[in-house]
Amino acid sequence: MGTLAADFSALKASLFERVRQKTSGTLFVATVDNHAAQIVLSRGQLLGVAHNGLCNESALNQLAATAPLRFSFTPELIYPLMETLLPEQAEQLLQRLGYSEADGETSTAELEAEPEIEPQAEPADEPPAAAAGKTLRVYRGRVIQP
């Protein structure tokens, strides 16, 4: 999904939408003078921004001063970054850009509707290593009988 020419607000809107959708991938951005930038997300979490030798907030500030911008999103591609953000830093940076957490949060009704994952009980017929007096051999989570 690409944009021929857009301003920084269109890039922010695309970023915010991807955060809300909890997608993983990289937003590739190109400036009018053909400098590249990357905005990397993992499951809706901002991992970092790189542009013209700058990282994160400095890179975004430089992109904000540049227009027009072209960008496209490549899902599931986590572009390598020199500096990654901690989750708290990522949230603060998104808030400074104008992202509202209330827009991206899952409602409590949706959380309650999700089934809980119960741990699987181990089969009772598998002898423990100490009781058998032998070395326990396991392959792919299953005890192998000698």
78-110 in b/e burial notation, b at 16+ Cβ within 10 A? ebebeeebeeeebbebbeebebeeeebeeeeee
- C-beta separation of 51 from 37 below 8 A: yes
Tens digits of per-residue pLDDT, 16-31? 999 999 999 999 999 9
pLDDT band at 47 (very low <50, low <70, confident <90, very high): very high
So where are the chain's domains?
2-108
pLDDT the model gives residue 66: 86
pLDDT the model gives residue 106: 39
Least confident of 2-11, 32-41, 101-110: 101-110
